[in-house]
Structure 1
Amino acid sequence: MSYRNRVITVFGGSGFIGRHLIRRLARSGAVVRIATRHPSKAAFLKTAGAVGQIVPLAVDVRRDDSVARVIRESDVVINLIGILHPQGGWDFATAHVDAPARIALVAKAEGVERLIHVSAIGADANGTAEYARSKAAGEQAVLDAFPEATILRPSIVFGPEDQFFNRFAAMAQVSPFLPLIGGGKTRFQPVYVGDVAEAIANAAGDPASKGRTYELGGPKVYSFEELMRITLREIRRNRWLVPVPWNMAESLGGLLEKIPLIAPPLTRDQVELLRRDNVPSGTLPGLADLGVAQPTMVEVMVPTYLVRFIVGGTYTTTRKIRGQVPE
């Protein structure tokens, strides 16, 4: 799909999904504005396009005038802003509700043709996790202001810079065990970041996607335990998989989220999220409806970037990986 000479503004474009999306949009010929709090951190993406094609711009999504400045004269606006836990003065309400609402209101006022809002599977106004409730509230705020907006809800997104497989692989380097929160039975349908980027780009150019909500899941469902075993196999490590009861996980999350100056590896809200499966409902359209007919499998892509965690490199002798849970 070609977006030649069209202006696309991407909020949160320097993040994990954003960097893949920006490259995809640049190949289509679009002029891309990366709206971010720290333009210098997005400068590396300028080389993905021709001179002047990709422009990082500073924005404060808490101010109407700042948002209007980066949106003005855009054909398409894409919102990727999201956080996993409160940080740097940002809470879930600010990132997931207030910012999307303001972006949608300004986009409508500026006459933007298309608005794509990336939410998450599990968005639920009645959910027990604040993350889930804020995501649902953000979706509603977007649709209230811009009814023809397209909502995309990906499952857990994996890829070279992900915060799932990389995090647990790093943990396995220093810890003799990996935790199975709630016994490791929670189900996920991981979706490759490149497929998500393709779906977003296709949605922006597909009139049939207006006003619709899509759930994006990969080709296979895994339990949390299965994903841990895949991680250990690919980094060639023997580590115990230890079931952690829900109440113990909540206590641990409460402790870790109080440690200053670090991103907590686990919070109480994330424990609440893990109580529910993170898979598409089957009642909404998905990747295939956005032109991604053959999504990438975890087993194909994950080995290409977890290789850096293998001691001695990829060509060392492979050891048998137990990943056994102690009796």
Structure 2
Amino acid sequence: MSPRYQKILVLGGSGLIGRYVAEDLRLRGFTVTTVARHYAASQKTSADDLEMPIMATTADDLTRLMVERKSEMVVNCLGVLQDGAGTDTTAVHRDFTAKLLAAIKATTQPVQLVHISIPGAAGSDDTAFSKTKRDAERLIADAGLGSTILRPGFVIAPAAYGGSALVRALAATPFADLPSDLACRQFQPVAVDDVASTIAWLCEHGNDTHHVWDLMQSEPVTLGMVVDHYRIFFGTHRGMRIRLPGFLLDLAAKLGDAVALLRWTPPVRSTAIAELRRGVTGDPVPWIAATGIAPQTLAQMVNRRSATIQDKWFARLFLLKPMIFVSLVLFWIVSGLIALFVSYDAAAGILSAHHFPPALVGPITVGTSLMDMATGVLIAFRRTSAAGLIWGILASLGYMFGAALLTPDLWIEPLGALVKTGPAIILMLVALAMLDNR
């Protein structure tokens, strides 16, 4: 049987679900156009992967895109976890969905809509994330289009971002365990393969009415069980663990909210913790009955292969990444502050002792201190972090070579300040290597 819908438009093509679905449909022979604000270089594998300011588009822009691409189905995978610097849950979930529905209605050919939402009853929605997701569902239900709302559970995929990466990191940690209230929370998972298979099924069969399907395994599963299966995967399931107190997660969430203001996307934020405490539940029976898809079990999703060294390194380093960046920011800012305010005379004295012209001692001391602090500030902001790290490496090399030429005795001073600059450079190289999120 030839597919009912052959030309597919995937919105949010750089995300966990959107990327996987697009690649899966292409392998199945569908013509897929993806749209995202930005792709990593490794993600943009086709001329049909379009970069555009998707949130700034109008309904007319979206209509033109669908007409130009002859799109027969639109898969909307757009979503953000929390309001903050550069993100607005209402704009992404509710307002954009309204524009998309208007755009679909304006096309001359019928266009199917598949919308990715979240499980849960409307009465349990307590966050801006969940409330605006539900607003979008109501808009779609009232639109009178052929549409399907998919509500995946906790998505397990080869890639891991955000919450899924956090679960793996916790499982790879040999000594920490979830707080008891989270460990027992119902947390139904779904394999990203099953999400992609469902969308492929809709491409084959279509949907002339409106359906809402929960996508998840049928058997009850808790968050603690998900972590335990990943522990088996990583080989860390033996040994004693300390159960983390709940307040520690709340503190980490507050710190995550603060860091998000610098345009980073930490996995531990207030909304993430609130959604974890709500749990992930639903009724997959209508989905299974309609499509005939037998959802994979948690054991099949996680333990169908052994962990590779790439899996282990990523999980172990995931929680170290924020520590590395925070330590580098503090290193540069604090060292500049100390030289400028605490030990100014000592810092200036080093230059005077090595016969620098007196007129240059003050400007050089102040200038290098300000440069150090500026380097820390650059590293702190996500958009400038790479530039700050590169500049920090160059500045450190400059200090080392400058000292070798002008003040070689500093290389053998008792505390080894210049000798320790080498490991700092290596740490900045590690931070550069870990900077990507996609």
TM range (shorter): 0.7 to 0.9
Which one has a larger percent strand, Structure 1 or Structure 2? 1
Q: Is the 8 A contact 1:203 1:209 kept in 2?
A: no
Equivalent residue for 1:101? 98
1:20 and 1:288 mapped to 2: Cα distance? 24
Equivalent residue for 1:117? 115
1:149 and 1:30 mapped to 2: Cα distance? 19
2:18 and 2:127 mapped to 1: Cα distance? 25
SS for the counterpart of 1:18 is helix
Equivalent residue for 1:296? 296
Moved over 6 A (4+): none
Equivalent residue for 1:274? 276
Using a 3 Å threshold, how does the CA distance of structure 1 residues 97 and 13 change in structure 2: closer, same or farther?
same
Deviating more after overlay: 233-242 vs 187-196: 233-242
Output the TM-score relative to the length of structure 2. Answer: 0.61
The superposition leaves residues 91-115 of structure 1 with CA deviations (integer Å, 9 ceiling, x where unpaired) of 2112211122211210121143311
Structure number with the bigger relative contact order (C-alpha 8 A, sep ≥ 6) is 1
Q: Is the 8 A contact 1:123 1:133 kept in 2?
A: no
SS for the counterpart of 2:56 is coil
The superposition leaves residues 264-309 of structure 1 with CA deviations (integer Å, 9 ceiling, x where unpaired) of 2322222222232312146x722342231x2222222323374334
1:189 and 1:196 mapped to 2: Cα distance? 14
SS for the counterpart of 2:160 is coil
Equivalent residue for 1:89? 86
Q: Is the 8 A contact 1:24 1:197 kept in 2?
A: yes
Larger radius of gyration: 2
Q: Is the 8 A contact 2:74 2:112 kept in 1?
A: yes
> How many residue pairs are counted as aligned between the two chains?
302
Equivalent residue for 1:63? 57
Q: Is the 8 A contact 2:149 2:213 kept in 1?
A: yes
Structure 1: segments with no counterpart, 5+ residues: 47-51, 312-327
Structure 2: segments with no counterpart, 5+ residues: 314-438
Equivalent residue for 1:157? 155
Q: Is the 8 A contact 1:19 1:45 kept in 2?
A: no
By how many angstroms is 1:24 displaced? 2.7
Q: Is the 8 A contact 2:36 2:52 kept in 1?
A: yes
Using a 3 Å threshold, how does the CA distance of structure 1 residues 5 and 301 change in structure 2: closer, same or farther?
closer
Give matches, 1:1-327, under 5 Å.
2-3=2-3, 6-38=6-38, 41=41, 43-46=43-46, 54-64=48-58, 65-72=60-67, 73-86=70-83, 89-110=86-107, 111-122=109-120, 124=122, 127-163=125-161, 164-171=163-170, 176-180=175-179, 182-208=181-207, 210-237=209-236, 238=239, 240-245=241-246, 249-259=249-259, 260-281=262-283, 285-292=286-293, 294-303=294-303, 304=305, 306-308=307-309, 309-310=311-312
1:180 and 1:123 mapped to 2: Cα distance? 24
Q: Is the 8 A contact 2:94 2:132 kept in 1?
A: yes
Amino acid in the other structure paired with 1:81:
L
1:262 and 1:305 mapped to 2: Cα distance? 31
The superposition leaves residues 34-60 of structure 1 with CA deviations (integer Å, 9 ceiling, x where unpaired) of 1111256575443xxxxx6x4435352
1:67 and 1:15 mapped to 2: Cα distance? 19
Q: Is the 8 A contact 1:7 1:76 kept in 2?
A: yes
1:123 and 1:101 mapped to 2: Cα distance? 22
SS for the counterpart of 1:132 is helix
By how many angstroms is 1:198 displaced? 0.7
Using a 3 Å threshold, how does the CA distance of structure 1 residues 97 and 123 change in structure 2: closer, same or farther?
farther
2:158 and 2:211 mapped to 1: Cα distance? 29
Which one has a larger percent helix, Structure 1 or Structure 2? 2
Amino acid in the other structure paired with 2:271:
D
By how many angstroms is 1:16 displaced? 1.2
Using a 3 Å threshold, how does the CA distance of structure 1 residues 62 and 241 change in structure 2: closer, same or farther?
farther
Q: Is the 8 A contact 1:4 1:29 kept in 2?
A: no
SS for the counterpart of 1:275 is helix
